[in-house]
Structure 1
Amino acid sequence: MQIAIIGAGHVGSALAGTLTKAGYRVAVANSRGKESLSDFTRRTGALACDMAGIAMGADILIIAIPLCHVPNLPASVLAHLAAHAVVVDANNYYPARDGRIAAIDAGQVESDWVANQFGRPVIKAFNNIIADHLAHRGGSAGIAGRIALPVSGDDPESRRTIMTIVDAIGFTPFDAGTIAESWRQQPGQPAYCTDPTIDELRDLLHRADRQAAIRNRDKSVRLMAKLPSDYPSDQLVRVARLFVGLDKWKPATWAALLRLGITVLRHRS
């Protein structure tokens, strides 16, 4: 199976590395051309391609770029994509980064908007986990605490295809239903960046709240702006889990919250 990735940022890099290690043939393209990807290919083992040819021969096309750039993708990308190929939306909407997208602000599900830009269905996956954990926190099936990732989409066969890939790179796949339900794994929701197990994920998706998610998303963005770029991702996940009611009795959780508070206060001073 050949997998193409558009985007060489944190998520694109994490996926390229884990997919290559799992035995998939992976090609990556970005807006700057394949000459800019020499270090990327050495780190991940993926093949660098120009945007014009990235979709040729691909069975899976993963979009891992800021949402605001999706409408600007060259038409040739989809023109070269086979009819059977599955398109995966690994993006998230952050107005502070992407600007305002009126349709999404009016209530359209993010991945439904992406599908409209492409003119073909998409699968939502790989968007609710910190990139560093996507790269390094996968584990064998059956191990305790294995992180579960939701996969949403309207075509059951396409969902199963991506769920197989999720499992192959070390995470427990969870069938999260149709694209209309994929809002449950968007930023600000309980399932977002909390590294849940399969049982936890099922409950967190059920508890999702569309209105609260917008407030939580924007608060998180403001908080992240106050932290150094190298702030430990595992500390952020611990705090995120606490805020959704998980790990309340673990001392490490409260230590992570205290560390976060101290860091924010130092930033203010």
Structure 2
Amino acid sequence: MSAAESTTEPEMPGIRTLGILGAGRLGTVLARLAADAGLRVLVASSREPALIARPMAAIGAEAAASASVIDASDAIVLALPLGRLQELPADAMRGKLVIDAMNYWWGADGDRPDLNDPRTSTSEIVQRHLAGSHVVKGLGHMGYQDLEDEARPSGAPERKAIAIAGDDPGDLRTVAQLVDLLGFDPVVAGPLASGIMLEPGAEAFGADVEAGELREMLERFPSSQRGIVVARARS
């Protein structure tokens, strides 16, 4: 699949049980969308599972301990503050498909130059920590309010799009199918390094647009202010 290519595959995804690490606003919205789509959804937070069991049950998801979520899930969404990356158990997540929805926010993560380096995308940093996992950037560039409000069936007019980035074509197909199942048109931005086009500071971050417009944003990235900063840093 080429950069900024839209994919619409009718097959059900290989994901039957979706794990979500993080029960904040983004994690809760994604859990509801996935449960509404018919997936089994397991959610873990920094608190005891019993403390989030009732709100999770109300949206069709199950609260569980992080270890159980990781073990039982076909794919795991990271909906945590990026600054907590080192807490993720790399050995336990080995071989897992990991969807990185995290972004660097100084307000939540503190002053972390290591997480704000234009020479690398934050998803590449995640991949280095989770060296044995299959990391795909996705589900983190659209605001949680828009995720909640804009989900539409496949083929619906004015359906909005979500971009993903990853190095393995099979992983991208699986995550693209999940995006479609959640109610959005998937657009492939490119390899994992291209995930920087979906981070804060890029035009696509916060975008609530259709696939064609999202592709145009990605194509404009090299000439954007953020794109020029990234190109200079990487040269």
**TM bucket by the smaller chain?**
0.7 to 0.9
Q: Percent identity?
A: 30
Q: Which residue, out of 105, 109, 116, partners 1:98?
A: 109
Show the counterpart of 1:160.
173
Inter-partner Cα distance in structure 2 for 1:144 and 1:72: 41
Show the counterpart of 2:220.
207
Q: Which residue, out of 43, 49, 52, partners 1:34?
A: 49
Inter-partner Cα distance in structure 2 for 1:167 and 1:134: 12
Show the counterpart of 1:112.
124
Q: Letter of the 2:61 partner, please give it.
A: A
Task: Pick closer, same or farther for the CA change 1:141–1:38 going to 2, 3 Å.
Answer: same
The structural deviation recorded for 1:140 is 1.8
RMSD over equivalenced CA pairs, Å: 1.9
Q: Secondary structure of the equivalent of 2:193?
A: helix
Q: Letter of the 2:17 partner, please give it.
A: Q
Cα contact 1:17–1:43 (8 A) shared by 2:
no
The structural deviation recorded for 1:211 is 7.7
Tell which structure's C-alpha radius of gyration is larger.
1
Show the counterpart of 2:186.
173
Inter-partner Cα distance in structure 2 for 1:101 and 1:211: 24
Q: How many residues align?
A: 210
Show the counterpart of 1:218.
none
Inter-partner Cα distance in structure 2 for 1:105 and 1:59: 30
Q: Letter of the 2:116 partner, please give it.
A: D
Q: Which residue, out of 29, 32, 57, partners 1:14?
A: 29
Which has the bigger relative contact order, CA under 8 A and spacing at least 6? 2
Inter-partner Cα distance in structure 1 for 2:224 and 2:114: 15
State TM-score, norm by structure 1. Answer: 0.73
State TM-score, norm by structure 2. Answer: 0.83
Show the counterpart of 1:122.
135
Inter-partner Cα distance in structure 2 for 1:211 and 1:67: 25
Any stretches of 5+ residues in structure 1 without a counterpart? 215-269
From the two aligned structures, give the one with the greater strand fraction. Answer: 2
Q: Which residue, out of 86, 90, 97, partners 1:86?
A: 97
Task: Pick closer, same or farther for the CA change 1:81–1:71 going to 2, 3 Å.
Answer: closer
Inter-partner Cα distance in structure 1 for 2:93 and 2:125: 19
Q: Secondary structure of the equivalent of 1:3?
A: strand
Q: Letter of the 1:114 partner, please give it.
A: V
Inter-partner Cα distance in structure 2 for 1:149 and 1:2: 21
Q: Letter of the 1:96 partner, please give it.
A: G
Inter-partner Cα distance in structure 1 for 2:191 and 2:141: 16
Cα contact 1:187–1:213 (8 A) shared by 2:
no
Inter-partner Cα distance in structure 2 for 1:115 and 1:195: 27
From the two aligned structures, give the one with the greater helix fraction. Answer: 1
The structural deviation recorded for 1:175 is 1.3
